Structure 1
Amino acid sequence: MHLIPALRLTLTLSLLAPALSLHAQAKPASHAGLAALHSVEGISEYRLPNGLQVLLAPDPSKPSTTVNMTYRVGSKHENYGETGMAHLLEHLIFKGSPRHPNPWAEFSRRGLNANGTTDLDRTNYFASFAAEPENLRWYLAWQADAMVNSLIARRDLDTEMTVVRNEMEIGENKPDNILFERTLAAMYQWHHYGKSVIGARVDVENVDIPRLQAFYRRYYQPDNATLIISGRFEPRQTLAWVQQSFGAIPAPKRQLPKFYTVDPAQDGERAVTVRRSGGVASLNVGYHVPAGPAPDYAAIELLKGVLSTPPAGRLHQRLVAEKKLAGNVSAFSMPLAEPGFLLLGAELQAGASASDLQDETLRVLEQELSSQPISTAELERARTRWLNHWEQQFADAEQVGLALSESVAQGDWRLFFQLRDRVKNLGLADLQRVAESYLRPANRTLARYIPTEQAQRAPAPALVQASQQLQDFKPGPAAPMVPPFEATPAEIHRLSQTDRLPGGLRLTLLPKPTRGGALQNMLSLQMGDAQSLQGQAAVAELAAALLDKGTQTLDRQALRDRMDALKIELQISASAERLNLAWSTRRPHAEAALALIAQMLRQPRFSADSLEEVRAQALGQLQAQRDDPEALAGNALNLVFDGGAAWPRGDARHARSFAEMEADLRAVTLAQVQDFQRRFYGAAQAQFAAVGDFDAPSLRQAAAQALGDWQAAQPYAPLSQPLRPLAGAESQLLTPDKQNAVFNARLALPVNEAHADYVALSLVNQILGGSSDSRLWKRVREREGLSYSVWSYLSWSEQDLNSSWHLGALFAPQNKAKVEQAFKQELELALSQGFSARELREAQQAMLSERRLARAQDPLLAATLAHNLFMGRDALRSKAVDEAIAKLSLEQLNSALRRYLKPDDFQRVWVGDFK
């Protein structure tokens, strides 16, 4: 995949890299053939004689390992006619070498969660897997082989070309992605940051293979690469494997080209307009800002929070809460190696004026930031939230490796820590100065051109040497190592403390050491029955969306500040009958965080203004789905299975059309939301799980105090949803002007999670289309290059014998016939010939590895433990499933395949611009 940041998505912390100067801690221990260089806060740097940089970030508490290979080459390094070349190489690396002709299949067999991304300054390849030395050794050997022996062959380029075009078309379907690309293109006159990472279609389609191979040989060399290994591994043995795999690669003799292009200071407002069908009207405002290593870049990071974070963010407060002009606002920037950009976005609320939205946005950014300076409270609020995100990322071994990739791309991995220090030490005067220097009209790119009588210039962009910035950097102490935890079902069961409180709440507590004292929590509330939930679907959705908007004693900002103080990161999801709250925090705040979550649930504020805000956001999201092929296909199948023919309008199980969803959202009143919380919220039928670093007796007592006596007025009974036989059928929906199409198919299955065929069906799906070594993947994507994304998955019912099998793919509309033929032939071939013993062995190995990796993810583990409580089982269920996977015979596999796979019984829908 190529990385195109979306304006309406919160900036991921993997992009929050830094800027610095350096005094290192004590050097790491040397290893034969590897020079030990810097060590900063538990991360050690080594270098091979051939120039390869190696970073080790060991974390024994993490039962998984993550390896990230970063090449300092991205779209900015492409010359005339070469746009998209860096991203195209990312695809072709996975096409293999003479020694590894099919990397995806080998990843799947070993249970590796692998991928790659291309960005402006770098390309990276990474994999996470359950901590197994042999997998680590093999993956290092593959990375070394891929560095110098990848085929980059014409035949692979030809088959992959359609996949890359399909990826382009997926981006072309998203209006916010197109607006993002057009904004950067207008902002940059000469620098290649203004070019799309995926490249121009004409360059990609006409790429010259010798030129692409030369690009590969120039940049895929050890002196242009950084190998980052994080999580659980043995450092000395790992360094020996690094030496063994990479040490034989000679130091390159070529000299890398030097890049020196920097755009001059912008000399007036620039404008761009995009006209496309579908989507929601929106506005972007872009400003040039300093490079990531520059001292002033830290202010840009905090400025984003001051402007956009609800509820006190200035743009949110003015455009969303007060003026009702926008459904939501966003702020996005990346710490880049060279002068970058800050983008502010807003989605127009239905019925609002686009010109009013533009005027108010510019008034906040370019006038009121000067006339009403940033306050200390705004600075500290933004700083606290930013540092909480940084700490959360640094505590996760998988995220650390990916985050360091971004700092490497800027010029030095230690920038990751210096940005944190600069954020900690940023003063109010500097934040105000940076805001006024860069957020001015002459430095602006907007949706239309607006002339100005008196031009003002932002500070001239300048290159920054990371080595100079690091001269005075003093890293903090390394985090103490924590003892290892073996995430086996037996160990999870042994350490889990399961209980039921007198009021009915069931809980499982799994205390274990974690880096940074982190813990993950899951609270799941079951609500109502078929009769009481009649007509409550939209009410339940909006009630859940309002929970983080304040309590009876804490207004919205006070609640947000309290959550930040307790280092809470909260995710809320809801259906008519179930409410899930997942949150992370740290050991010192475990009990207080649970008490605050309980306060949000038991004493929500539910104000009229907040209801209108979340309603507008939900309507905006709904409008965006109405012409999105993927959303249309999914909704069409839902209507077939659970629409009016299955359940009457208003029933909680009824699948609603987009029109019904809109009508329901518009009809919800504040009184209904308040009544829903009083009637349906309670802990008697709830499950709570906690995984991580905490004191179990104290947390149990906190749960008893906060939730033990909480009863819902309405009793709970599961919503039965028996299987409804349907004859297979096919339909087609047209989406004009959409360059990407989707195929979705769904088959009802008379099984559930506890069924005897659960394991056999899971392995059937794995082989057919559930992995990157599956038959559908190899046929549709690898061999014929028809789709960027092809899938098969099973959606398991918890209790009813009514699960479903889903198949599908994304593709260019003109390839519909080929996609249809590929699916038909592969299903027929599977039924006629069955699967082989080799396929079974490899699928068993892959699935067991994937399950081990899943148990190593604490958020997933907490969710699983809570689900086990609901299902009345314990962690040993996972052990039984593992054993059943390992023992399944080929006869059982093929018997399940032929018993359940009925191609003619699938409900099939095609959505696209099929002219």
Structure 2
Amino acid sequence: ERELPPEYTEEPVQHGSKTVMVRRQGGSPIVAAQYHIPAEADPQFTPLSLGISALGDTPSGLLYKNLVEKNLATSVFSYAAGLRQPGYALFLAELKDDMDPQQALTTLNQTIEEQNQALSQEDLDRIRNQWLNGWSQTYADPASLAAALSESAATGDWRLFFWARDQVENVQLDQVKTALKTWLVADNRTNGIYEPTSALARAPKANTPDVAALLSDYKGKTHQNLADAFDPSPNNIDHSTQREIIELDDQLGIVRVALLPKPTRGDRVHANLAIRFGDPDSLKGSRTIGSATASLLAHGTKKYSRQQIEDRFTELQASVFFSGGPNGVNVDIETVGDNLAPTLDLVLEILREANFPESELNKYKAQRLTQINNAKAEPSALANLTLSRHLNPWPKDDIRYTPTFEESAQYVQSLSQADLLAFHERFYGAGDIRFSATGSFDSETIKQQLKKGLKGWKRAPDYKRAADPYHAVKAEHFTINTPDKANAFYIETLPLKLQDSEPDFVPLYLANYLLGQSETSRLWNRVRVSEGLSYDVRSRLQVSSYEPSASWTIYAIHAPENSAKLQAVIQEELATVLKEGFSEQEVQEGIHALLRYRQLARSNDAVLTSTWQSYLDLERTFAWSAHIDEALQKLTAKEVNAVVKKYLQPTAFSSALGADQSKQ
């Protein structure tokens, strides 16, 4: 027996009205409305299809009366497509050339969606009789009956031909009205307009070129400045890096630098400048102001407009990104080596002379408020915020506090140009500055540029890091309803008392990799591959370099229908890891994978630059990276599993689930 291949995709629920315009030569104007409707075998289909026929009937239907009789259209038509899968309803009105398509379309939509409850018992009986008469005629004609039975078989079963008759005979008016009200809604509608015209302005047809013929005689330019291979070993990185402390004039403090000049392809260079200031007490209440100040630095200075700044960076072939918060600002730079000095000169001028134009601040506020408003409906944003607030012990005015969306919006809305100017004047300045660079550049030129660019600036308030010590948190579980969202987001976090200088760090670092950091991990293979419960599932270990404070997090993006099973499977996998541990083979394969990953990271100039920034602050070198590599190589499954049992406590995780509760 022949079987049709299974279909693996489903038509999603439409999330808003759509409009399609077709313009061609010839014919008459047409306006149309199409709606998704249930399959023919669905009990809702019969009352819905009868109601659709009644709306479009000529001359008794509402569409005929509202469009044809009022001279807005010349004819109307309605049709419900009964299919094995969910089908569609089509309403159509044909117009004369001098009729207004927009007026006709508006009337069509309003009649279908706002007047469908006006159908009477007389309307239903008329359409029912028409349908039954047609059925009887089909039944009486062998050829027509054979075709109809074949259609019913294709719809699911030949008996549907007779079942539909029984449904039509028994359908009630309230069923028809309910079906029309349920399915004929604006968010389920796609409008179509056909506009005949002789004034066509179409783009040409795009063809697929013959690439082989195109490039048959092509000879590229000779590449210059090809870089020699650089040994990314920790020892060579340390040996090649110039680490110095630059004393600034006039007691403005110091600049810690890590400069790694080396040949690069295209003479590119990555650099990072970090300026830090203030302490948690002096910065109270400045969280939003500090972030806005950093974000708007390059939006205007006393001398240059935002556009002039962007044009100058483009001229210098430089990508420059300012970011930061209440106690510091970071500037990421990528450019060609010869342009690093002038790029740095402009960056320092921006840091010193930013004036935060009110027009740019208003744009920033509008963008941030839009982002916050969008986040209010996103499962991942809601779950992350809920869990972060649960784990956060700081008071509202502290820069480490996690605000609600409403609080964030209020803080942003209250920002003023005076706030930013005052914050910039009070906190921005020299004192605690770090600079790192990797690539093709001249070290002496850059050091001189730093001294020159910082000369005469004011001294910033002394910097003190905002500590984030470990604190025990009672496990709680939160569920946030996110109506009408196709995806759900689950996240759970376990606070840990651990610092990266402790012996337990490296085995736990590997354990996290094996648990959920990679596409070969336990969670990935079980939750995503074997069970098919998530689109993405990961674990993340964050360990402080400053104090014994860490967190272990697991998260998964999934369909809301799978939330309960997904959480159960994650807990099963954690229990299995605790009971059976990781095998020696898993551990050795994980070690080799992590060592390759770490070596690859050290081959990336941007990674080297950002790592040097961190090491300058921690007074470390890449000997620390070598130490981690060596510790990884010595690990055994017994050591890894012992550390896992010490720290992994499934019942101590706090969690948050953002999902459409109606689909749970």
Among candidates 447, 463, 471, match of residue 724 of structure 1:
471
- Given the alignment of the two structures, is residue 485 of structure 1 paired with residue 485 of structure 2, yes or no? no
Distance in 1, matches of 2:199 and 2:529, equals: 54
Q: 1:588 deviation in Å?
A: 1.4
Contact 1:734 1:911 in 2 (8 A): yes
Structure 2-normalised TM-score?
0.69
In structure 1, the residue matched to 2:360 is 610
Q: Report which stretch shifted further, 567-576 or 518-527.
A: 567-576
- Given the alignment of the two structures, is residue 874 of structure 1 paired with residue 618 of structure 2, yes or no? no
The amino acid of 1:647's aligned partner reads: W
In structure 2, the residue matched to 1:775 is 522
In structure 1, the residue matched to 2:243 is 498
Q: 1:616 deviation in Å?
A: 0.8
Among candidates 282, 301, 311, match of residue 561 of structure 1:
311
Q: 1:534 deviation in Å?
A: 0.8
Among candidates 843, 853, 857, match of residue 600 of structure 2:
853
Q: Report which stretch shifted further, 831-840 or 584-593.
A: 831-840
Which ranges in structure 1 are unaligned for 5 or more consecutive residues? 1-80, 83-153, 190-201, 203-268, 274-445
Assess, with a 3 A threshold, how the Cα gap between structure 1 residues 697 and 471 changes in structure 2: closer, same or farther.
same
Which ranges in structure 2 are unaligned for 5 or more consecutive residues? 25-37, 39-100, 107-189, 248-252
Distance in 2, matches of 1:571 and 1:584, equals: 9
Contact 1:504 1:708 in 2 (8 A): no
Distance in 2, matches of 1:753 and 1:187, equals: 63
In structure 2, the residue matched to 1:144 is none
Assess, with a 3 A threshold, how the Cα gap between structure 1 residues 720 and 450 changes in structure 2: closer, same or farther.
farther
In structure 2, the residue matched to 1:583 is 333
Assess, with a 3 A threshold, how the Cα gap between structure 1 residues 480 and 651 changes in structure 2: closer, same or farther.
closer
Distance in 2, matches of 1:683 and 1:763, equals: 40
- Given the alignment of the two structures, is residue 551 of structure 1 paired with residue 294 of structure 2, yes or no? no
3-state SS of 1:505 partner = strand
Distance in 1, matches of 2:454 and 2:488, equals: 48
In structure 1, the residue matched to 2:386 is 636
The superposition leaves residues 521-577 of structure 1 with CA deviations (integer Å, 9 ceiling, x where unpaired) of: 111222211111111111112111211212221112211111001111122322322
- Given the alignment of the two structures, is residue 657 of structure 1 paired with residue 398 of structure 2, yes or no? no
Among candidates 205, 210, 216, match of residue 461 of structure 1:
205
Contact 1:497 1:510 in 2 (8 A): yes
Assess, with a 3 A threshold, how the Cα gap between structure 1 residues 777 and 488 changes in structure 2: closer, same or farther.
same
The superposition leaves residues 49-78 of structure 1 with CA deviations (integer Å, 9 ceiling, x where unpaired) of: xxxxxxxxxxxxxxxxxxxxxxxxxxxxxx
Distance in 2, matches of 1:447 and 1:671, equals: 50
Q: 1:800 deviation in Å?
A: 2.6
The superposition leaves residues 844-898 of structure 1 with CA deviations (integer Å, 9 ceiling, x where unpaired) of: 1111111111111111111011111011111111111111111123232112101
The superposition leaves residues 274-326 of structure 1 with CA deviations (integer Å, 9 ceiling, x where unpaired) of: xxxxxxxxxxxxxxxxxxxxxxxxxxxxxxxxxxxxxxxxxxxxxxxxxxxxx
Assess, with a 3 A threshold, how the Cα gap between structure 1 residues 709 and 186 changes in structure 2: closer, same or farther.
farther
In structure 2, the residue matched to 1:831 is 578
Assess, with a 3 A threshold, how the Cα gap between structure 1 residues 449 and 665 changes in structure 2: closer, same or farther.
farther
The amino acid of 1:669's aligned partner reads: S
Distance in 1, matches of 2:612 and 2:303, equals: 32
The amino acid of 1:868's aligned partner reads: Y
Identify the structure with bigger relative contact order (alpha carbons < 8 Å, sequence gap 6+). Answer: 1
Contact 1:776 1:826 in 2 (8 A): yes
Q: 1:671 deviation in Å?
A: 1.0
Distance in 2, matches of 1:523 and 1:745, equals: 34
Assess, with a 3 A threshold, how the Cα gap between structure 1 residues 833 and 709 changes in structure 2: closer, same or farther.
farther
In structure 1, the residue matched to 2:377 is 627
Q: 1:449 deviation in Å?
A: 7.1
- Given the alignment of the two structures, is residue 906 of structure 1 paired with residue 650 of structure 2, yes or no? no
In structure 2, the residue matched to 1:683 is 430
Distance in 1, matches of 2:304 and 2:536, equals: 45
The amino acid of 1:458's aligned partner reads: R
Contact 1:684 1:710 in 2 (8 A): no
Among candidates 738, 756, 762, match of residue 509 of structure 2:
762
Assess, with a 3 A threshold, how the Cα gap between structure 1 residues 791 and 459 changes in structure 2: closer, same or farther.
closer
Distance in 2, matches of 1:904 and 1:650, equals: 32
Assess, with a 3 A threshold, how the Cα gap between structure 1 residues 471 and 887 changes in structure 2: closer, same or farther.
closer
Among candidates 584, 589, 593, match of residue 842 of structure 1:
589
3-state SS of 2:274 partner = strand
Q: 1:798 deviation in Å?
A: 3.3
Contact 2:490 2:656 in 1 (8 A): yes
Contact 2:290 2:326 in 1 (8 A): yes
Contact 2:382 2:658 in 1 (8 A): yes
1:368-387 to 2 correspondences below 5 Å: none
Q: 1:456 deviation in Å?
A: 4.3
Distance in 2, matches of 1:449 and 1:541, equals: 48
- Given the alignment of the two structures, is residue 594 of structure 1 paired with residue 344 of structure 2, yes or no? yes
Contact 2:528 2:535 in 1 (8 A): yes
Contact 1:814 1:914 in 2 (8 A): no
Assess, with a 3 A threshold, how the Cα gap between structure 1 residues 450 and 865 changes in structure 2: closer, same or farther.
farther
Contact 1:740 1:813 in 2 (8 A): yes
1:236-275 to 2 correspondences below 5 Å: none
Distance in 1, matches of 2:479 and 2:23, equals: 42
Among candidates 558, 563, 568, match of residue 811 of structure 1:
558
The superposition leaves residues 465-521 of structure 1 with CA deviations (integer Å, 9 ceiling, x where unpaired) of: 345766896743333432111111111100000111113111100000001100001
3-state SS of 2:507 partner = helix
Assess, with a 3 A threshold, how the Cα gap between structure 1 residues 472 and 887 changes in structure 2: closer, same or farther.
closer
Distance in 2, matches of 1:808 and 1:659, equals: 25
Count the aligned residue pairs.
Answer: 494
The amino acid of 2:460's aligned partner reads: A
Rg bigger for which structure?
A: 2
1:132-531 to 2 correspondences below 5 Å: 455-463=199-207, 465-466=209-210, 475-502=220-247, 503-531=253-281
In structure 2, the residue matched to 1:666 is 413
Assess, with a 3 A threshold, how the Cα gap between structure 1 residues 187 and 591 changes in structure 2: closer, same or farther.
farther
Q: 1:713 deviation in Å?
A: 3.4
Q: 1:797 deviation in Å?
A: 2.2
Contact 1:743 1:810 in 2 (8 A): yes
Percent identical pairs in the alignment equals 30
Assess, with a 3 A threshold, how the Cα gap between structure 1 residues 683 and 849 changes in structure 2: closer, same or farther.
farther
Q: 1:753 deviation in Å?
A: 2.7
Assess, with a 3 A threshold, how the Cα gap between structure 1 residues 833 and 463 changes in structure 2: closer, same or farther.
closer
Contact 1:683 1:708 in 2 (8 A): no
3-state SS of 1:501 partner = strand
Distance in 1, matches of 2:22 and 2:228, equals: 50
3-state SS of 2:517 partner = coil
CA RMSD of aligned residues (A): 3.3
Assess, with a 3 A threshold, how the Cα gap between structure 1 residues 783 and 707 changes in structure 2: closer, same or farther.
same
3-state SS of 1:639 partner = helix
The amino acid of 2:230's aligned partner reads: F
1:791-802 to 2 correspondences below 5 Å: 791-802=538-549
Contact 1:608 1:670 in 2 (8 A): yes
Distance in 2, matches of 1:447 and 1:874, equals: 64
3-state SS of 1:494 partner = helix
Assess, with a 3 A threshold, how the Cα gap between structure 1 residues 511 and 659 changes in structure 2: closer, same or farther.
same
Assess, with a 3 A threshold, how the Cα gap between structure 1 residues 459 and 709 changes in structure 2: closer, same or farther.
same
Q: 1:730 deviation in Å?
A: 0.8
Distance in 1, matches of 2:200 and 2:430, equals: 60
In structure 1, the residue matched to 2:395 is 648
The amino acid of 1:875's aligned partner reads: F
Contact 1:689 1:863 in 2 (8 A): yes
Distance in 2, matches of 1:611 and 1:744, equals: 34
